Amino acid sequence: MKNYLNNTFLKSKQNINMPIVKGLLKYDQSNFKLLILEYVEPRFLTVRETYFITFVLPYYNVLKQGYSSLGYKHTEETKKLLSELAKNRVHSNVTKGLIAKALTGENNPFYNKNHSMETKVRIIEAKSAYPVYIYNSFKELLVIFPSVLTLAKLIKSNHSTIVDVIKEKNIFRGEWYFTNTPYNISDTPVIANWISKECDELILNINNHSHIRKAVFVYDINKNFICKYDGVMEAQRSLNISHSTIKKYAKVGGIYNDYMFSYERLKD
């Protein structure tokens, strides 16, 4: 009777398309085991689930994050059901921050490890679903995007460029920082939803700055903000200082002729 009920459940319309269900039906339940990896406090369940998904890279677990459906395409029927369930399940900023921090540096299960090409591909696929936090030059959190790929398509950039910006912690198009972890767990985005009119305006603004490779911030010797230029050449024309000199001092945040140059905004 138990096996009959299990098979009935597995073959139901809502479950038949799930990879794990297909595996159970194909290889039989006797070839699968249910193991407890560790015992944790309820508030850390999401963090630890994300950790083990990243560490084990399970074939049948198509999700990229704990307690999340990122990385899996559901049927329309299932989407409606999940939508109703999600209304009562919202991660706090603390939980979101913990998930990100739990996979950073030495906490990352892949820290200091070598992988096969197949594993590397799967790692890239898993990481592509991680959120991107967008900050302005004042280090204020503006909005959170669901993935690098989503952001790249909207701002007319490419995946590798954004990954490099995140990795090198560079300022993008002279005004924005991208990171896959919040600067502070308590940071609250100005724009609550990346699918909104406010975010559309932000994207338009970022695209209007596509001509900027490196902006130049100019201050006086007392670090009072004077002006921001779209590039070294614009600063050269305005200040009558050679571009090579500006580049030299902007790179180190140095002072020349009573001007302090920087590629990033100082704390005004």
Residues 30-39: pLDDT tens digits?
877 777 877 8
Question: Is the predicted pLDDT of residue 46 greater than 80, yes or no?
Answer: no
For residue 171, the tally of other CB atoms under 10 A from its CB is 22
Between CA 122 and CA 135 the distance in angstroms is 28
Reference 210, options 149, 152, 262; nearest CA is 152
Residue with tokens 């704990």: 66
- Mean pLDDT, the chain, as a whole number? 76
Averaged pLDDT for residues 161-167: 91
Residues 188-218: pLDDT tens digits?
899 988 889 999 999 999 999 999 989 999 9
Residues 225-249: pLDDT tens digits?
999 999 999 999 999 999 999 999 9
Question: In this predicted structure, what is the pLDDT of residue 40?
Answer: 77
* pTM, rounded to two decimals: 0.54
18 compared with 48, residue with greater pLDDT: 48
Q: Which residues pair with 218 in a beta bridge?
A: 227, 261
Q: Which residues of 105-116 are buried (b: 16+ CB within 10 A; e: fewer)?
A: eeeeebeeeeee
Reference 150, options 212, 203, 104, 76; nearest CA is 203
For residue 202, count CB atoms less than 10 angstroms from its CB and return exposed for 0-12, middle for 13-18, buried for 19 or more. Answer: buried
Between CA 267 and CA 40 the distance in angstroms is 41
Residues 102-119: pLDDT tens digits?
555 655 555 566 655 555
Percentage of the chain surpassing pLDDT 70?
A: 60
56 compared with 199, residue with greater pLDDT: 199
Between CA 128 and CA 64 the distance in angstroms is 9
Q: Kindly list the distances between the CA atom of residue 30 and the CA atoms of 25, 35, 155, in Å, as whole numbers in the listed order.
A: 11, 14, 49
Between CA 153 and CA 178 the distance in angstroms is 15
For residue 124, count CB atoms less than 10 angstroms from its CB and return exposed for 0-12, middle for 13-18, buried for 19 or more. Answer: exposed
Q: Which residues pair with 216 in a beta bridge?
A: 229
Q: How is residue 75 written in tokens? A: 């049927």
Residue 13, SS3?
coil
Instruction: Write the DSSP string, 25-61.
Output: HHH-GGG----------GGGHHHHHHHHHHHH--SS-
How many secondary structure helices (H) and strands (E) does the chain include?
11, 8
Between CA 29 and CA 50 the distance in angstroms is 25
Q: Which residues contact 78 (CB under 8 A, 6 or more apart)?
A: 14
